[in-house]
Structure formats: structure tokens, C-alpha cells
Structure 1
């Protein structure tokens, strides 16, 4: 990989393929170079963990380089092939292991309804004070259930849970029965969480663990009922982890 400028490297971050594949890398060698021709080994991982999480690999000694090279010497099932989802360098503050979901890159690609400027995209803008409001008046699209689909722009690791804020400036019609699903192709969906009675407490950030963590690219949220039995509902903010 050409870094396009000389960079300090103190380690690498590594994410395995996320769909349960077997031939994950096992013995992996990392090298760096100043010219793309002469290489120096900086890290030798004999057994790369078979995990879906973000892995933080730290070099024994920091280096400056213009290029880095990754060589997969073996995989966990001795297959004639292997794969990896993401590899990056890091320097400075050591990464925490928290995955960056890059919510600011997500795109809402489908929904049943939204009302005026209170769009579905407000749920993922990082601001709990903006919100999505479904259509309250048009009988052709209002009523329960309400739903929306988000393209997370690339395959994401299995979602372990969701942090949720309800709408902050009005109350009473918070979602009650909610289903969260994930898909790799926007066609076949896997339910990762069903909350029959989501708390309607808008003063705290709600935290719900998924019951079936599954990797994927697309996220679908379905609101089956709300606490006010109204033909509309709203959400403040949703963040996966």
C-alpha cells in the first residue's frame, strides 16, 4: 500500500471478513518500506485471532514509512485462499478498539414516510435534538407500521447493540414495539433485535443489546406500535455499537 507521504507507524488496525467465512488469516507478516523496493519486517503475528471485532496491533518499535505490505502466510483452515476486510496504520493515541461506524456517510435509501424537514436522516446525524417524524395526516402512508432502510455504505461488523435517544422537544408517541434487521444485499433480512416495549423515557440514552448479532451493509428499523396509539411516531437518534 502506498501511503503517499512519509508516515509514522506505531501499529496496525485489522478487521476480519464479517460473514462467518472460515479461511481467515492466521500467520500474518507486516513489512514497511521507504521506497517500495527494500522491505523491513516490523511485525509477525503467528496466530491472528478469529474475531469479528477491531484488532489493535502494536509494533515493537515505531517506524516511518512510505509503503506497507501485508503477507498472509497461512489461514485457519489451510485453504488455498484467504481474505481480510480492512487494514490501516495508526500512530499517536492508541485506538480504543471501538469501531467507527461512520454514520455521517450513511444514506437513507427507502422509507414508508417522513414529514416536512423532519427526515429519516436526522436519526443518524449525531444530534439528539433533531428527529425523524413520520407522516401524521396522509392516510396513504401514515399509520403503523412505519419503517426505513439505511445503506451503511459498506459491510459492517456484527452490531452488538443500539444506543437510542427519543425526540427531545415533544413526547407521548415514542416507538413501542420496534424491530431492527440487517442485510448484506437489501433483499434477505436477518432480525437482530426485537423490542416489544421500548422505554419511552426521553431523558436518558437507551441501550439495547442485540439478541442475534449479524454483520451486514443495510439496516432496517420497523416501528410496529407507539405509546400513543397514534398514526405517526418519531425517533431522535440511533447509534449502533
Structure 2
């Protein structure tokens, strides 16, 4: 570990004006650093858990000039930014905690010498290698680790062409450091100023991921407010320090229960189980309205509602809301569609994030779509038929302990899986179900496995005698982990139905389903 030093910094600003062609020229401001003098720091924090700040140095690059001063000022700037919005939304005078020498205004930074050159820690795949060495350090120096959350900075020679980790990875997050990454250059109309916004904003954006935050975008009304502007967890890494940038309420609701922010708990991330008992959705008076109830073994205080256009594989453009839960584990929210950036004929995924007091987050996804600028609700409770006498009477294959009968057991945590351990089967897969009597059916409800092998394209066949079959059509399931529905073109009467599965979302040969119902 590198000993920290107090850097005596001389800031020299040279302005050379010349009247050449009627133009003036400003020379670059340089920061010169004298030989460092060793000094001790008195780091402290009132919090039990504090963000670990690591400066990870590959063997072929040196610590960037004046790094301790610059990074301390960046992180204290970010700490104040996070605090501002936690207070604004009513979560209290909170922010991410750090070990700080208050008198010298320096944050504790742990300098760790890497084992290899920079090329061994590339953007793609390098994060895992860095984490392995950082974890080795903490195992050898357990008193140095103050929480489960770690920010890791890697110095680079050329920040215009870096190839080092720069992303969130669970409770780790990565950013880079270069000599002119300095809050003093915020607002400067120059490449140096723009780069300060880009890389410091990027650092605080990735730190958000390391503190459990997903992406989200500002609402339409927030974009034009001088007090809001651009969400940090959206595109705020390109606006921070230059134009209005903020944290959304949904982000602050998650931070409120984060280990290095919360004052609720002593034990964090000890797992949580949650089930949704009911959920109702409607479109009324220009608003998408949602309500429901749930059960959980770990208390929940807030919900986040993320409406994400399903037009790409990213979630940067998810507009979010947040709402406290009721004392009876109920929730409700009203989301004006005027706040959505994308309407027209846009498919959406709605993600519900239940924020547990111990920092865990239970996530559920639903689908809906805008059609001609109005939302069409494709989820919510249905009056599903009683399945107590139903049986799976035929199937293409099943795996040990992942039986076909699991699609009828009412347990979202069990699932049928096609055979994979030996002689793995491929698409098409099928399940045939006997409802024990003829029913009038308007549609089907499906629950995908919460994980891999989600089924994509299916065909539904129905029969009254298990001999003569009629196709009700081809359909596409949703790549979400909550119950969703398929409406038939007309009500049909039958006793037997067969689900033929023709493809998977991941393009592989395997299939899995958790539940199948009819309504």
C-alpha cells in the first residue's frame, strides 16, 4: 500500500494575449506539484459503513499527479451532490459515507500496486482481474475494508484512448484517473472542461451503480427545470458540472437503504423474499395507474416504478417514479403519460423495484405498450381457472427435479425444464395439459422462469378429446419474470390444450416455464 502524502500544489495560471489576426489566445493552465512531504491524516466518520476508495496502479503507469487532492475534492463534491437530493425528496441529511480528514479535506484513498501492466486489465474482462487483486488486499488487511461497496480508480496515460474498466459491477464500480481530472475545470469552455464533466460525471454515474442504482431518465417536465435537468443515472455523466444534473426520487429511494447511506440497519444484504399478492393496472384521466399488495420477510419502505421503452437492450431512457408503501404492504402510483418521452406505438417494460430496509431489492417486470399515443395495459390480475384437478399428461422431455408438473403447482420458484443433463433435447418442445373437464377459455397466462431459458415463440392447440386438435394461433411470450397474458381471438371451449414451444429468447436449445394458467 502506498503511504499517503500531503501534496503542496502550486497553481500557476498563465494568460498570454496576442493580437494576431484580431484574436486572443489562452494558454493551458498547468498544475505543478512540488516534491511531496509525508504527512499523517486523521480520517474519521460517524457511520459504521463507509465507501472504500481504491486507487489501483498497474505496473506500467504511475499515480497521476496530485491524485489525492483531486480525488478528495471530486468525491466531496459528489457527496454534497447526493446529499442535496436526498434532502430534497425528504430522505434526510444523508449521502454516501466516507472516511474523511475534515480539517485537511482529504478522503481516505487506499493505493494498491497492481501485479501486471495496464494491458492485463482491459475494459472487457479486466474488472474481474482488478477485483481479484483488491479482494486479496482486503483479505490481508481486513481493517482497511469499511463496507461492501468499493470504488476503484485506475490511472491512465492517455484518457482520450483508455482501455481500463469503467462501469458498475455489483457493489464494485470502476472509473479512471488522469492528471487534469479536476473539479476546478468545471464550466470551462475547453476540451479540459468538457473532459472534466465527462469523466467526473462518469465516475459519479458508475458510483451510483456501485451503490445499487439502475439507469433512469428524467421526466419530460424535469428536463427543462433549472433545479433538475438531466438525470445522473441517465445521461448525466455528460452534463454533471456543466448544465443542470440531478438524482431522481427513485434513485434516492434506493440510496436510502444502501449500506453506506442508510441509518436503519446493522446487517445488510442478508437476502429477502417477496411475492406480489395482487396488482391492478389501468389508464384513466391521462395517467397510468397502478396498485397492489405484497408479502415479504424483510420490510420494504419504498417502491420504484421504472417505465422503460423496449426498443433497445439498454435502460438509460427508463422514466421513473417512487412511492412509499402502505402499512399493510400496499402500494399505488399514478404516472401521467405526459411525462413519457416516447409514446406513439412504443412497447414498454415496467419494472417494479421493492426496496427492502436491509438494502436488498426485489424486482418484478411487466409489459405494456403505447398504441396511437395511449397506453394499452397488458398485465394485471385475471380470474384464472381453478387448476387443482389439472394434470400434465404428455411432455417432450423433463429434467430431474425440474418436472413438467411444476407448471401447475402454483409455486413461482419451481419450473419445468427440458432435459439438459444428458441427451439434451432441442426445440420444438411441448406440454399437453388435461383440465379434467371442458371450460370456456378467453386466454392464457404464462410465468417464465426467473432466470435463463425463457421461451419466446409458441403455438397453442386445443382439443375436446385429446385426438382432434385445433390451432388457436402462434404467439410470442414476454421476456419478463412476472405473469403475463395472451388473449385468444375468440372464446373457445375445450378440455385439453397443448403448448408447442418453437424458440427461446437466448437462441439456445433449452426451454423452461414456471406456470401456465387459463382465464
Q: Following TM superposition, by how much is the alpha carbon of 1:156 offset from its aligned partner in structure 2, in angstroms?
A: 1.4
**SS at 1:110 equivalent:** strand
2:498 pairs with 1:216: no
Q: Deviations over 1:67-116 (max 9, x none)?
A: xxxxxxxxxxxxxxxxxxxxxxxxxxxxxxx8773312111111110101
Q: 1:160 aligns with which of 442, 457, 462?
A: 442
Q: 2:474 aligns with which of 191, 194, 217?
A: 194
Q: 1:180 aligns with which of 460, 463, 477?
A: 460
Q: Does structure 1 retain, via aligned residues, the 8 Å contact 2:384–2:517? A: no
Q: 1:100 to 1:231 in 2, by over 3 A?
A: closer
**SS at 1:174 equivalent:** coil
Query: What TM-score does the superposition give when structure 2 sets the normalisation length?
Result: 0.26
Cα distance in 1, alignment partners of residues 383 and 479 from structure 2 = 28
Q: Does structure 2 retain, via aligned residues, the 8 Å contact 1:190–1:214? A: no
2:516 pairs with 1:234: no
Cα distance in 2, alignment partners of residues 99 and 233 from structure 1 = 27
Q: Does structure 2 retain, via aligned residues, the 8 Å contact 1:163–1:208? A: yes
Q: Deviations over 1:202-224 (max 9, x none)?
A: 1x321110124321111101101
Q: Following TM superposition, by how much is the alpha carbon of 1:234 offset from its aligned partner in structure 2, in angstroms?
A: 0.3
Q: 1:238 to 1:167 in 2, by over 3 A?
A: same
Q: Following TM superposition, by how much is the alpha carbon of 1:236 offset from its aligned partner in structure 2, in angstroms?
A: 1.0
1:81-120 alignment runs, 5 A limit: 101-120=385-404
Q: Following TM superposition, by how much is the alpha carbon of 1:189 offset from its aligned partner in structure 2, in angstroms?
A: 1.0
Give every structure 1 segment of 4 or more consecutive aligned residues whose post-TM-superposition deviation is greater than 2 Å: 98-102
Cα distance in 2, alignment partners of residues 143 and 194 from structure 1 = 19
Q: Following TM superposition, by how much is the alpha carbon of 1:143 offset from its aligned partner in structure 2, in angstroms?
A: 0.1
Q: Following TM superposition, by how much is the alpha carbon of 1:120 offset from its aligned partner in structure 2, in angstroms?
A: 1.1
- Structure having the higher helix fraction is 2
**SS at 2:410 equivalent:** coil
Cα distance in 2, alignment partners of residues 190 and 214 from structure 1 = 10
Q: Does structure 1 retain, via aligned residues, the 8 Å contact 2:384–2:518? A: no
Structure 2 residue aligned with 1:132 = 416
Cα distance in 1, alignment partners of residues 500 and 398 from structure 2 = 14
Q: 1:142 aligns with which of 412, 417, 425?
A: 425
Q: Does structure 2 retain, via aligned residues, the 8 Å contact 1:193–1:212? A: no
Q: Which of 1 and 2 has higher RCO (CA within 8 Å, sep 6+)?
A: 1
Cα distance in 1, alignment partners of residues 478 and 385 from structure 2 = 25
Q: Deviations over 1:160-187 (max 9, x none)?
A: 111211112x22x211111111100111
Cα distance in 2, alignment partners of residues 186 and 177 from structure 1 = 23
RMSD of Structure 2 on Structure 1 (CA): 1.8
1:63-74 alignment runs, 5 A limit: none
Question: Which segments of 5 or more consecutive residues in structure 1 lack a partner in the other structure?
Answer: 1-97
**SS at 1:225 equivalent:** coil
Q: Does structure 2 retain, via aligned residues, the 8 Å contact 1:182–1:220? A: yes
Q: Following TM superposition, by how much is the alpha carbon of 1:137 offset from its aligned partner in structure 2, in angstroms?
A: 4.2
**SS at 1:160 equivalent:** strand
Cα distance in 2, alignment partners of residues 104 and 164 from structure 1 = 17
Query: What TM-score does the superposition give when structure 1 sets the normalisation length?
Result: 0.53
1:1-20 alignment runs, 5 A limit: none
Question: Which segments of 5 or more consecutive residues in structure 2 lack a partner in the other structure?
Answer: 1-381
Cα distance in 2, alignment partners of residues 224 and 102 from structure 1 = 27
- Structure having the higher strand fraction is 1
Q: 1:187 to 1:200 in 2, by over 3 A?
A: same
Q: Following TM superposition, by how much is the alpha carbon of 1:124 offset from its aligned partner in structure 2, in angstroms?
A: 1.1
Cα distance in 2, alignment partners of residues 134 and 234 from structure 1 = 6
Cα distance in 2, alignment partners of residues 211 and 194 from structure 1 = 11
Residue-pair matches, total: 138
